[in-house]
């Protein structure tokens, strides 16, 4: 099996610090640029699972790079270059303390809330009589706070964000506008691939007084897709939809008694399970992008990344 990248510990020229998130290791270069390494770590229910998934980081990084290019006419995007299949370099932004979740359908956590009796999400009322995987009349923007490490993100209403001063009203309305336009563009791109963009998250930051789209976009870690073929028939029969997302990992965990709650233990991730998840991510890449996935060399992926990044940084000095 290919080697998975579960941790990086580089020392690049001009490096000022490093932040390790659930999936990405982010290096500060000269307080001007961020160098983001998409590792093969995988998280679910806000828990990083014990085994890495080979090629997952490459899948996420290359999907995000493609989509960032596709939406750069809507909003300034943070990325500048991708010197390695697992790496993106971009401008250093000050992130907004909220994530913008856009939901086109009642599914996943929103359905679990609704099924348990909830009729409001982030201050938005939900009608009676809705069914799982039903399309909303209009996509909903349901923001969350960005949690500290090890904590769960918390739903929050637009009114609470503005009232608490997390984001100024004028800027928050700009984030809403960008989010809806990005979701519409993502929906159009997905439709060309025979997919439905169900829900997704966007993150934004500020740089030189402007709002930038940061982090990943429309990847299977940040988004959920349905196959459009047969959606209506399955919905009419009350059947589950064919999905392209990380939901299959969550479903496997739930089936084995894990939802990230206190006292629960992550089930054993055997080599067969790890390989199956890896192949599913590659399938996701090819279906979402319409491109063949070319597996990066993984005999020594850390050396490969270090060589590629150092070569890129050297060229920037010339």
| Per-residue confidence band for 246, with pLDDT thresholds at 50, 70 and 90 | confident
| Per-residue confidence band for 1, with pLDDT thresholds at 50, 70 and 90 | low
If you write DSSP's letter for every residue of 29-62 in order, what string do you get? ETTTEEEEEE-S--EETTEE-SS--TTHHHHHHH
Q: Which of 204, 181, 280, 220 is closest to 44 using CA atoms?
A: 220
Give the model confidence (pLDDT) of 28-45 as tens digits.
999 999 999 999 999 998
Give the model confidence (pLDDT) of 54-108 as tens digits.
999 999 999 999 999 999 999 999 999 999 999 999 999 999 999 999 999 999 8
CA–CA separation, 100 and 199 (whole Å): 11
The model scores a pTM over 0.95? no
**pLDDT over 90 (residue 208):** yes
**pLDDT over 70 (residue 165):** yes
CA–CA separation, 130 and 140 (whole Å): 15
- Where is 159: in which H helix or E strand? helix 158-164
Q: Where are the domains of the chain?
A: 15-94+276-317, 95-244
pLDDT at 245: 77
| Per-residue confidence band for 147, with pLDDT thresholds at 50, 70 and 90 | low
| Per-residue confidence band for 182, with pLDDT thresholds at 50, 70 and 90 | very high
For the chain, give the percent of residues with pLDDT over 70.
Answer: 97
Give the model confidence (pLDDT) of 109-120 as tens digits.
999 999 999 999
Query: How large is the C-alpha radius of gyration of the chain?
Result: 20
pLDDT at 151: 52
Contact yes or no for 315/309 (Cβ under 8 A) = no
Q: Which of 318, 293, 307, 223 is closest to 55 using CA atoms?
A: 293
Contact yes or no for 252/240 (Cβ under 8 A) = no
**pLDDT over 60 (residue 149):** no
pLDDT at 76: 97
Q: What are the structure tokens assigned to 313, written together?
A: 């940084």
**pLDDT over 90 (residue 318):** no
Q: Does domain 95-244 have CATH number 3.40.640.10?
A: no
CA–CA separation, 284 and 244 (whole Å): 6
* Topology given in CATH for the domain delimited by 15-94+276-317: Phosphorylase Kinase; domain 1 (3.30.200)
Q: Which of 149-163, 209-223, 233-247 has the lowest mean pLDDT?
A: 149-163
| Per-residue confidence band for 297, with pLDDT thresholds at 50, 70 and 90 | confident
- Where is 16: in which H helix or E strand? strand 15-20
């Amino acid at each position: 099996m290919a080697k998975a990248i579960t941790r990086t510990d580089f020392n690049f020229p001009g490096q000022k610090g490093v932040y390790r998130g659930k999936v990405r290791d982010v290096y500060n270069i000269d307080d001007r640029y961020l160098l983001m390494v998409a590792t093969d770590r995988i998280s679910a229910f806000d828990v990083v699972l014990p085994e890495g998934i080979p090629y997952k980081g490459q899948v996420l990084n290359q999907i995000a790079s493609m989509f960032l290019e596709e939406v750069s006419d809507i909003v300034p995007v943070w990325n500048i270059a991708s010197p390695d299949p697992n790496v993106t370099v971009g401008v250093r932004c000050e992130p907004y303390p909220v994530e913008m979740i856009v939901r086109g359908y009642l599914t996943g956590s929103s359905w679990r809330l609704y099924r348990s009796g909830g009729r409001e999400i982030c201050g938005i009322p939900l009608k009676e009589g809705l069914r799982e995987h039903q399309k909303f009349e209009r996509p909903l923007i349901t923001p969350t706070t960005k949690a500290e490490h090890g904590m769960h993100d918390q739903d929050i209403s637009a009114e609470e964000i503005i009232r608490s001063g997390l984001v100024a009203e004028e800027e928050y309305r700009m984030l809403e506008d960008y989010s809806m336009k990005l979701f519409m563009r993502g929906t159009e791109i997905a439709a060309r691939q025979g997919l439905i963009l169900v829900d997704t998250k966007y993150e934004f930051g500020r740089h030189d007084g402007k709002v930038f789209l940061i982090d990943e976009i429309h990847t299977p870690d940040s988004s959920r897709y349905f196959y459009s073929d047969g959606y209506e028939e399955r919905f009419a029969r009350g059947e589950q939809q064919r999905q392209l997302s990380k939901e299959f990992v969550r479903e496997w965990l739930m089936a084995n008694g894990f939802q990230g709650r206190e006292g629960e233990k992550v089930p054993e991730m055997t080599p067969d399970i790890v390989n199956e998840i890896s192949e599913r991510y590659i399938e996701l890449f090819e279906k979402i992008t319409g491109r063949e996935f070319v597996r990066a060399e993984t005999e020594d992926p850390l050396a490969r990344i270090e060589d590629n990044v150092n070569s890129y940084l050297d060229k920037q000095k010339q």
